[in-house]
């Protein structure tokens, strides 16, 4: 295997085939690491119709944007992605490969690390260069402590949470976009039958600027209807703590926390949520936190910027009415 060099970002695209905000944050983080290690920043992009996204990523890199643009790559398919990426990274091993701590990143990187015999640190909340090595920080013990880890294999892989990297600024020189001459495997054991875009009860939480979450104190599915209305009025998404998900009041895709999604919206509204460490792990980086809880001693108030003590059934209707009065911008 060749010598490991360069920082590589595994890019993800949104439904509009643009790099996700997390991908851009990783490019910003990659710029910093690459500069500290005096190496190049590269991106790997697998997709279909991904040319424009590759050009956009090239503005932030200094090395290469490796692009495989194939109809078979229009959605994440683990077997195809592993085969293509493992082949690619064997011939160009990176010092560090970063992916978002997304559904795809969480599924793909452990498989890739196993295939390439590399160390992997998942769920990173901080990365920094010390001497000539990268140190990775991640929550442990249910979010009660942070561990800083080093990887001893020549290539290190990591999944990174949202808002760890800064919004990127274009690099001095643009990266070259290199089309890859790789044929995805024709035969796979896993067949994708279709794709369903979740809407209504479900929610694209990670990208939402406002998240309105409900907890066990909502008492049932009905209260989540009110949270959805508020989220829609604020241009946001609905989240939940774990009990409503376990009880079937909210979809599992809505769960925020250490075993759910990690979000960092501009505004996080926690309704009838006590503020367990497992829940806080998923939302404590939010811009402003607003809590509504009937218990004045609820822990959530300790981490909130604004708190309202009271019954949600009394508070939410007037809050909704006030939102409706606001002029549309």
273 binds ligand FAD (CB under 6 A): yes
Q: How far is the CB of 235 from ligand FAD (least distance, A)?
A: 23
242 binds ligand FAD (CB under 6 A): yes
101 binds ligand FAD (CB under 6 A): no
304 binds ligand FAD (CB under 6 A): no
294 binds ligand FAD (CB under 6 A): yes
Rounded distance, CA 283 to CA 289, Å?
9
Closer CB to ligand FAD, 163 or 242, in the complex: 242
Using Cβ positions, the residue closest to ligand FAD within the complex turns out to be 257
Closer CB to ligand FAD, 6 or 239, in the complex: 239
Q: Where are the beta strands (DSSP E) in 3-81?
A: 7-10, 41-47, 64-69
Q: How far is the CB of 280 from ligand FAD (least distance, A)?
A: 9
Residue carrying structure tokens 């108030």: 301
Q: Tell me, residue by residue from 203 to 232, as one string, x for binding to ligand FAD by CB under 6 A and - for no binding.
A: ------------xxx---------------
Q: Tell me, residue by residue from 162 to 201, as one string, x for binding to ligand FAD by CB under 6 A and - for no binding.
A: ----------------------------------------
Q: Specify whether the CB–CB gap between 256 and 213 falls below 8 A.
A: yes
Stretch that binds ligand FAD, among 8-16, 114-122, 172-180, 293-301 (CB under 6 A): 293-301
Residues numbered 12-31 forming contacts with ligand FAD, rule: CB under 6 A:
none
Q: Using CA atoms in the order 108, 111, 117, 119, what is the torsion angle rounded to 10 degrees?
A: 50
Closest CA to 224 of 248, 188, 192, 253: 248
278 binds ligand FAD (CB under 6 A): yes
239 binds ligand FAD (CB under 6 A): no
Closest CA to 262 of 148, 164, 141: 164
Q: Where are the beta strands (DSSP E) in the chain?
A: 7-10, 41-47, 64-69, 96-100, 119-124, 126-130, 133-140, 145-149, 156-160, 176-179, 210-214, 237-240, 267-271, 288-293, 306-309
259 binds ligand FAD (CB under 6 A): yes
CA atoms within 13 A on the CB side of 174: 9
Closer CB to ligand FAD, 168 or 243, in the complex: 243
143 binds ligand FAD (CB under 6 A): no
144 binds ligand FAD (CB under 6 A): no
Q: How far is the CB of 204 from ligand FAD (least distance, A)?
A: 18
Pairing of strands 126-130, 133-140: antiparallel
- Which tokens is 302 given? 């300790």
197 vs 15, 46, 201, 228, 307, CA distance in Å?
A: 10, 20, 12, 17, 34
Secondary structure class of 302 (helix, strand, coil): helix
260 binds ligand FAD (CB under 6 A): yes
Closer CB to ligand FAD, 77 or 101, in the complex: 101
Residue 259's DSSP bridge partners are none
311 binds ligand FAD (CB under 6 A): yes
Where along the sequence are the contacts to ligand FAD (CB under 6 A)? 215-217, 241-243, 255, 257-260, 272-274, 276, 278-279, 282, 292-295, 298, 311-312
């Amino acid at each position: 295997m060749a010598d490991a060099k360069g920082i590589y970002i595994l890019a993800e695209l949104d439904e509009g085939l643009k790099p996700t905000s997390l991908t851009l944050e990783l490019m910003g983080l990659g710029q910093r690491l690459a500069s500290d290690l005096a190496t190049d920043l590269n991106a790997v992009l697998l997709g279909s119709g991904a040319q424009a996204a590759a050009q956009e990523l090239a503005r932030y890199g200094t090395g290469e944007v490796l692009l495989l643009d194939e109809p078979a790559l229009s959605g994440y398919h683990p077997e195809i992605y592993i085969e293509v990426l493992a082949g690619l990274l064997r011939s160009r091993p990176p010092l560090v490969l970063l992916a978002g701590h997304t559904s795809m990143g969480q599924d793909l990187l452990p498989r890739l690390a196993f295939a390439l015999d590399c160390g992997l640190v998942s769920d990173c909340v901080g990365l920094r260069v010390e001497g000539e090595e990268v140190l990775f920080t991640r929550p442990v013990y249910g979010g009660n402590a942070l561990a800083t880890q080093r990887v001893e294999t020549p290539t290190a892989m990591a999944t990174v949470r949202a808002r760890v990297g800064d919004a990127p600024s274009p690099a001095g020189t643009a990266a070259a976009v290199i089309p890859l001459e790789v044929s995805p495997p024709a035969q796979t054991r896993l067949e994708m039958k279709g794709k369903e875009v979740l809407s209504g009860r479900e929610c694209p939480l990670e990208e939402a600027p406002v998240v309105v979450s409900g907890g066990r104190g909502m008492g049932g599915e009905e209260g989540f209807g009110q949270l959805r209305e508020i989220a829609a009025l604020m241009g946001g998404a609905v989240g939940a703590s774990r009990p409503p998900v376990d009880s079937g009041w909210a979809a599992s895709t809505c769960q925020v926390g250490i075993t759910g999604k990690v979000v960092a919206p501009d505004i996080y509204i926690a309704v009838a949520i006590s503020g367990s460490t497992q829940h806080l792990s998923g939302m404590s980086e939010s811009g402003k936190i607003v809590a509504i809880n009937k218990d004045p001693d609820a822990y959530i108030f300790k981490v909130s910027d604004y708190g309202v003590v009271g019954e949600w059934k009394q508070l939410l209707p007037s809050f909704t009415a006030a939102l409706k009065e606001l002029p549309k911008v």
